[in-house]
Structure 1
Amino acid sequence: MRRSRKSPVNKCGQASGSGGGVGVGAAADEGLAEIGVATNLRSKPHRHFSHVLPGKSECANVSPVKMLVGRECNYSGRSRFSSADRCHVSSRYLPVNGPSVIDRMNSCAYVSQFSADGTLFVAGFQDSDIKIYSVDNGWQVRKNIRARSLRWTITDTSLSPDQRFLVYSSMSPIVHIVNIESAMTESVANVTEIHEGLDFSGYENDDSDDDGHFGIFSVKFSTDGREIVAASSDESIYVYDLAANKINVRIPAHSADVNTVCFADEAGHVLYSGSDDHLCKVWDRRCLSTRGKESGVLIGHLEGITFIDSHGDGKYLISNGKDQTIKLWDIRKMSSNARGNSLDRHVDWDYRWMEYPSHLRHKRHPNDQSVSTYRGHRVLRTLIRCYFSPSYSTGQKYIYTGSADANIYIFDLVTGAQVARLNYHRQIVRDCSWHPFNPMLGSSSWDGVIANWELVNNPSAVETE
């Protein structure tokens, strides 16, 4: 098997130095204009709220006080806030203050994830611990899962839609599933509880790896909870049927490690994947039997892709890249294939221990198809993740990411402006998660700290711009 560029060189190590600067390049084309209009509609207040006082002209940035007065006086004629009104108010209050320390471990934290309803928070650590905290119960530990047969670290976790089960992956072809509703708080794999192993190496006609010793970088439940999709170091995407207890399909997806995969929307037919071959790809499972290849390719990153998050509308996605950028994509602009668009990678640079070459920081792919590019954070040492902000509270007005400089960055989706930089951690922030409803953000860092950012009076820990 070809040696993965995520192969361990040492345990965690020290945080990289600060710096890197802030620079944004946003492509002002029709794609950005379209998502800008959609985002504005989801987070702009009703026009009548700007006319709280007679004779006042309409203003797009209506204060919360005016919004409340307008609601009480029923200026909109609805006697309540619409979802756009709510987003306009709540998106003004970002979870940038604090933080409070939820937990501190003697192990690098790799994963942080709120559940879909925001009642649970999952954190995965390098030493095999996965902790599930009850957010509404003072962040008490509801489940302490101890993985076994772990390779290197917990690479990913995913909660089932009904929040009864959790799957976790590592640098192994075996993904484990745990019942988190059981009465046992201490869940030690196959000692106090059974952690059922789902074998991703047993796919028939698999000739990609003689010994089957590949690893899983990304794992996700489908919206209906019937399937699990996984991205692996054997250059493939797998879909596992839980009812049949077998792999449904293996897609030889890329020419290098597949670091990330996710569903495009709730239907579950379309997948997005990202790889160290610099490409994002779009897969329609309904066409695989006839086409036998991807539905399209998104070209623009100069280095490998560490994570992808879907906008959820089947059109847009964002990706984090080792070229130190986040890119926004519109799949309607994708190519039919990557032929003639590949670039030679910089073999003298390794993101695991080297800084990104300064002369490449603002280089652009000659055939860049992305809608917008966001810069300022750092993607080094590990597969750092990025996300859209929640739909309910912000209308997905922002994107946010961890960073190798130990900060968390929040960008305005449309303008590309950096609106906040959260500074507290002492080492790499690999993952972070914005609460689906409340102004709250959880972060996990290689310093072993799980932190919670929210609206409290402690401005010394945050820099906003």
Structure 2
Amino acid sequence: MPPKDEETVKLQKELEELIKKCQEEAGKCSDCKLEEKCADLADMPKIRLTTKKLLKGHINKVNSVHYSGDSRHTVTGSLDGKLIIWDTWTGNKIQVIPLRSSWVMSVAFAKSGNFVACGGMDNMCTVYDVNNRDGTGAAKITRELLGYEGFLSSCRFLDDQTLVTGSGDMKICVWNLESGVRTQEYEAHAGDVVSISLSPDQNKFVTGSVDKTCKLWDTRDGKCFQTFFGHSADVNSVCFHPNGYNFATASEDKTCRLFDIRGDQELACYKPPSGNPGFTSCGLSLSGRFIFCGSDDNNVHIWDTLKCAHNGTLQGHENRITSLCVAPSGLGISTCSWDNHVRVWG
């Protein structure tokens, strides 16, 4: 019997060959490329976004940013051990929440604006009620969700009572926040679950993983009904298209991609015109016509999703961009970086 490592290598090779065969068969069904089909569309003008607010307050790397449903307030999490809730219209801090662990990797704002959640290397997810304060004046902890066997890498609110989390133990969990009980738990990927994005109707969500794949799930029964291949390295970020039928990805393989759920395959691949940056985060405009991707070259790259043409870059950060979030209204973009700052673009 061959050693286990040789057997694993053999199985991995068989899997790669099978994936390649599936991609070739899917390619045969494609009558043309997206950019070819959209070649006769008028070119979009260059996007002229500037930094409307530079949010200073963190004193260490800022790892995550997320908008509230009002498109005005954001929450950011930093290695300085603080969550900060910002008013992006005025640039003012609304609340500063001290954390028990400074190793925060993901933050989430409930659509209602009533709760924020965060987690990271402390292997748990902590939920705060921003409308109630504890004895120190900080937002009150309502739940500490324990039981992870790896770091908490991503979290998103379905509503004020339900939270979805992904973690380094390769699992996805759905929590009832009123009872603090896990209502669903399942082995999701063959590697860390890095990113989660909810569909516009909240009935589905897509996950990205270091196993190079993305998976589509049903929030109602927790079943995975599609797996998407194409990336050759970690999928760092996923973002649902506003139409609910597509989603975008950003990867360490130095590409961003657009996948189609109904066609069960990749629609387009976006690469920068120069340089060779890896991509850490992505977001889509309200119309879905533009994709914004934060990268480790300190810039946000923009593409026309239909014509696959590079539209420009947003420059200003002085270090790696770690997270990007488009306001639900589509009227603003917030980015955070290892330069300790948060920028609001508009």
Q: Same fold (TM over 0.5)?
A: yes
1:441-463, CA deviations, whole angstroms, 9 ceiling, x for partnerless residues? 32211011222333xxxxxxxxx
Q: Tell me the distance in 2 between the aligned counterparts of 1:31 and 1:297.
A: 21
Aligned to 1:20: none
Q: Tell me the distance in 2 between the aligned counterparts of 1:305 and 1:99.
A: 30
Alignment root-mean-square deviation, CA = 2.9
1:302 to 222, 232, 239: 232
Conserved 8 A contact 1:236-1:252: yes
Greater relative contact order: 1 or 2 (C-alpha under 8 angstroms, separation 6 or more)?
A: 1
Give secondary structure in 2 for the equivalent of 1:329: strand
1:402-453, CA deviations, whole angstroms, 9 ceiling, x for partnerless residues? 1101111111111111112112211101112334446433221101122233
Q: Does 2:177 align with 1:242?
A: yes
Shift of 1:32: 3.6
Give secondary structure in 2 for the equivalent of 1:194: strand
Aligned to 1:386: 282
Amino acid at match of 1:266: D
Q: Tell me the distance in 1 between the aligned counterparts of 2:313 and 2:191.
A: 32
Conserved 8 A contact 1:143-1:184: no
Q: Does 2:128 align with 1:178?
A: yes
Conserved 8 A contact 2:70-2:111: no
The normalised TM-score by structure 1 is 0.61
Report the structure, 1 or 2, having the larger strand content.
Answer: 2
Cα 1:145–1:165 change in 2 (3 A) is same
2:291 to 394, 399, 408: 399
1:446 to 338, 342, 345: 338
Amino acid at match of 2:340: G
Q: Does 2:326 align with 1:430?
A: no
Cα 1:323–1:438 change in 2 (3 A) is closer
In the TM superposition, structure 1's runs of 4+ consecutive aligned residues that sit over 4 Å from their partners are: 28-31, 33-37, 183-188, 285-288
Conserved 8 A contact 2:210-2:234: yes
Matches of residues 46-445 of structure 1 in structure 2 within 5 Å? 94=47, 96-98=49-51, 100-136=53-89, 138-150=90-102, 153-182=103-132, 188=138, 193-201=139-147, 212-222=148-158, 224-268=159-203, 270-286=204-220, 294-334=224-264, 369-376=265-272, 378-379=277-278, 384-389=280-285, 391=286, 395-437=287-329, 439-445=331-337
Cα 1:272–1:437 change in 2 (3 A) is closer
Q: Tell me the distance in 2 between the aligned counterparts of 1:271 and 1:200.
A: 22
Identity %: 21
Larger Cα-atom Rg: 1
Aligned to 1:339: none
Conserved 8 A contact 1:200-1:247: no
Conserved 8 A contact 1:143-1:185: no
The normalised TM-score by structure 2 is 0.81
Give secondary structure in 1 for the equivalent of 2:295: coil
Q: Tell me the distance in 1 between the aligned counterparts of 2:296 and 2:107.
A: 21
Conserved 8 A contact 1:103-1:449: yes
Amino acid at match of 1:261: I
Q: Tell me the distance in 1 between the aligned counterparts of 2:242 and 2:51.
A: 30
Q: Count matched residues.
A: 313
| Structure 2 spans left out of the alignment, 5+ residues | 1-29
